[in-house]
Amino acid sequence: MNKFEGRNYCIVTYGCQMNVHESEKIRGELTSLGMIETEDVNKAMVVVFNTCCVREGAEDRAYNNIIALQNLKAENPDLIIVVCGCMPQQRKGKYNLWEKLPFVDIILGTYNISELSEYLLQFAKKKHRIMEILDKPRKDMDVENAVRDDKINAYVNIIYGCNKFCTYCIVPYVRGREQSRNPVDIYNEVKDLVQNKGYKYITLLGQNVNSYGKDLPDPMSFSQLLTQLCRIEGDFKIKFMTSHPMDLGDDLIKVMKEEPKMAKFLHLPVQSGSDAVLSRMNRHYNIKHYMHIIKRCRRLMPTISISTDIIVGFPGETEKDFNKTLKLLKRVKYDQVFAFMYSKRSGTPAANFEDQISEPEKKTRINKLLRLQKIIQQEENKKYFKHSYNCLIKQQNGVAIGITDGGKEIYLPNYKYYNQNYFAYIKVENIRNHKLSGVIDEHK
Ligand code: SAH
Ligand code: SF4
Ligand code: F3S
């Protein structure tokens, strides 16, 4: 029996889906020591902060919450505090964690979490602070023992790192260069999740999934990987994120259309509606190209759900540039928009650009954009009327409900007895107060 067995742990997660999934791997590590999860830091013997540094807000939140544990540590010297994720990976970050947080016992990089249990045992024995930060994934990282949060949707890594170097973004500096995971490992993991663990959605993860496979000893494309995964038997669907508009080719759109197992959902970050801003962001596409992809997707898959990320107030963004972003939202009519105020990240080129936009101006712009998007989304509800959507049927608070690939809820008021967690087409018959309801479409 080790010192950790039967004791509690708590994980605090910030950032993107990649981090959410990495926290599931951290849970796997702690479970392997016989530990039990708690939400209450006061009960925990081990507290893990899985951090993000993509924007200042996320970074400050994590930092302040770690600092807040200092008192708890003083009261309970047995408490072990671990900080991992993207903050420790920064070379020129705002915070030097090792020096500024002397009460933190273990600091790990994003590619070191698979050894967390060993570091904890080592720390328990020697009581020496530990810091280990790798710059790229080790080959054997593919042996995964994630204990997942969700029972319906499972995240699966397919590619680590990013080669794009958008001028605002810290990710390539903290996650290193692109490294694709072996397709056989991915296939086996997806097969196990679907056939032995009952997962209905598999979400393939990467900062830029379209680059998948280029670096493999036997190169393959992302669409080829998807085609292979769609051959796995079972009632499940595949999603992926995130795509970069520069590399999203017709082959991917074709697979999405033709394979019934491909979810009709695309998260395609545009960042700005202005070509001049896109060029300064180093995004390598213009709005004409972006609209070509959107139109093609909508033509081939009329019920597809599309979402995006937008940065407002990028250095040098004029009122005119910003208005082009608003115009783009009106043209595309996204199902969902994730909007962020530009945040200066030291170490990235844009942090040194002239014409930084003031915080109040960024706030004014983001509020304007969010107001517009709200109106668009409410009007867009109409597009569902009389159309059929392949949905996952679930029970929610005693009523039957279908969830589209894009996450939209459609109520099934006439279905009292039903199975759960299977896919069926629902035809939308009614829209009231922005709520959709419908019936199972037997003709599909
Ligand atoms: N690889 C993905 C996601 C990267 S981070 C992609 O390329 O889309 C998620 C989002 O955070 C980005 O799409 C961008 O909109 C936003 N983001 C990244 N850096 C930012 C910064 N410095 N300030 C504000 N938002 C930022
Ligand atoms: Fe950041 Fe751009 Fe890479 Fe996305 S593609 S992670 S925004 S550098
Ligand atoms: Fe944040 Fe790291 Fe993801 S910086 S957005 S947690 S890759």
pTM: 0.95
166 lines ligand 2 (CB under 6 A): yes
169 lines ligand 3 (CB under 6 A): no
End of a domain among 104, 132, 160? 132
Residues 287 and 328 in one domain: yes
Residues 423 and 357 in one domain: no
Q: Looking at the domain assignment, is residue 273 inside a domain?
A: yes
Give the pLDDT score at 419.
72
Residues 164 and 82 in one domain: no
Pairing mode of beta strands 388-396, 201-205: unpaired
How many C-alpha atoms does 443 have within 13 Å on its Cβ side? Answer: 4
107 lines ligand 3 (CB under 6 A): no
Q: Looking at the domain assignment, is residue 416 inside a domain?
A: yes
Q: Which ligand is nearest to the CA of 84?
A: 3
Give the pLDDT score at 92.
66
End of a domain among 132, 161, 193? 132
- Residue of 208, 212, 284 with the most ligand 2 atoms within 8 Å of its CB, for mutation: 208
For residue 259, how far is its CA from the centre of ligand 1 (angstroms)? 29
Residue minimizing CA distance to atom 7 of ligand 3: 171
Residues 434 and 351 in one domain: no
Q: Looking at the domain assignment, is residue 81 inside a domain?
A: yes
Residues 362 and 428 in one domain: no
Residues 418 and 282 in one domain: no
172 lines ligand 2 (CB under 6 A): yes
Residues 215 and 67 in one domain: no
163 lines ligand 2 (CB under 6 A): no
213 neighbors 180 (Cβ within 8 angstroms)? yes
Question: What SS3 state is found at 11?
Answer: strand
Q: Looking at the domain assignment, is residue 2 inside a domain?
A: no
Q: What is the DSSP string of 280-326?
A: HTT----HHHHHHHHHHHHHH-TT-EEEEEEEES-TT--HHHHHHHH
Residue minimizing CA distance to atom 2 of ligand 2: 166
Written as tens digits, the pLDDT of the chain (444 aa) is: 789 999 999 999 999 999 999 999 999 999 999 999 999 999 999 999 999 999 998 899 999 999 999 999 989 989 999 999 999 998 666 778 899 999 999 999 998 998 999 999 999 998 899 999 988 777 655 556 899 989 999 999 999 999 999 999 999 999 999 999 999 999 999 999 999 999 999 999 999 999 999 999 999 999 999 999 999 999 999 999 999 999 999 999 999 999 999 999 999 999 999 999 999 999 999 999 999 999 999 999 999 999 999 999 999 999 999 999 999 999 999 999 999 999 999 889 999 999 999 999 999 999 999 999 999 998 888 899 999 999 999 988 888 999 999 999 999 988 876 678 899 999 999 998 889 999 999 877
- Residue 211 lies in domain: 139-382
Give dist(CA 190, CA 182) in Å, integer: 13
Residues 302 and 376 in one domain: yes
- Check which CATH number belongs to the domain holding 31 and give it: 3.40.50.12160
Dihedral angle, C-alpha 39, 69, 131, 186, nearest 10 °: 20
Could you give phi then psi for residue 117, rounded to 5 degrees? Answer: -65, -40
Given the CA of residue 344, which atom of ligand 1 is nearest to it?
A: 22
For residue 350, how far is its CA from the centre of ligand 1 (angstroms)? 13
Q: Looking at the domain assignment, is residue 242 inside a domain?
A: yes
Residues 90 and 176 in one domain: no
Residues 201 and 307 in one domain: yes
174 lines ligand 3 (CB under 6 A): yes
For residue 175, how far is its CA from the centre of ligand 3 (angstroms)? 8
**In 3D, which of 157, 50, 170 has the Cα closest to residue 110?**
50
Residue minimizing CA distance to atom 5 of ligand 2: 164
Give the pLDDT score at 144.
66
Q: Which ligand is nearest to the CA of 345?
A: 1
311 lines ligand 2 (CB under 6 A): no
End of a domain among 132, 149, 180? 132
For residue 128, how far is its CA from the centre of ligand 1 (angstroms)? 36
Could you give phi then psi for residue 420, rounded to 5 degrees? Answer: -110, 160
Pairing mode of beta strands 388-396, 46-51: unpaired
392 neighbors 421 (Cβ within 8 angstroms)? yes
Burial of 121 (0-12, 13-18, 19+ CB in 10 A): middle
**In 3D, which of 300, 193, 291, 175 has the Cα closest to residue 236?**
193
Give the pLDDT score at 396.
83
Question: Which region holds residue 392: left if phi is over 0, alpha if psi is between -120 and 50, else beta?
Answer: beta
Q: Looking at the domain assignment, is residue 373 inside a domain?
A: yes
54 lines ligand 3 (CB under 6 A): yes
164 lines ligand 2 (CB under 6 A): yes
Q: Looking at the domain assignment, is residue 37 inside a domain?
A: yes
Count of structural domains within the chain: 3
Given the CA of residue 51, which atom of ligand 3 is nearest to it?
A: 6
Give dist(CA 42, CA 163) in Å, integer: 41
Residues 154 and 219 in one domain: yes
% helix, strand, coil for the chain, step of 5: 35, 20, 40
Residues 117 and 167 in one domain: no
For residue 175, how far is its CA from the centre of ligand 2 (angstroms)? 10
- Check which CATH number belongs to the domain holding 347 and give it: 3.80.30.20
240 neighbors 209 (Cβ within 8 angstroms)? yes
Q: Looking at the domain assignment, is residue 1 inside a domain?
A: no
What six digits make up the tokens of 315? 């250095």
- Check which CATH number belongs to the domain holding 397 and give it: 2.40.50.140
262 lines ligand 2 (CB under 6 A): no
Could you give phi then psi for residue 141, rounded to 5 degrees? Answer: -65, -15
Q: What is the DSSP string of 127-195?
A: ---EEE--SS--GGGGS-----S-SSEEEEE-EES-----TT--HHHHH-S-EEPPHHHHHHHHHHHHH
Give the pLDDT score at 373.
97
175 lines ligand 3 (CB under 6 A): yes
Give the pLDDT score at 398.
81
366 neighbors 355 (Cβ within 8 angstroms)? no
401 lines ligand 3 (CB under 6 A): no
List Cα–Cα distances, 42 to 68, 69, 138, 289, in angstroms: 12, 9, 34, 52
List, chain by chain if needed, residues with CB within 6 Å of any ligand 1 atom: 54-55, 168-169, 171, 207-208, 242, 244, 269, 271, 309, 311, 340, 342-343, 345
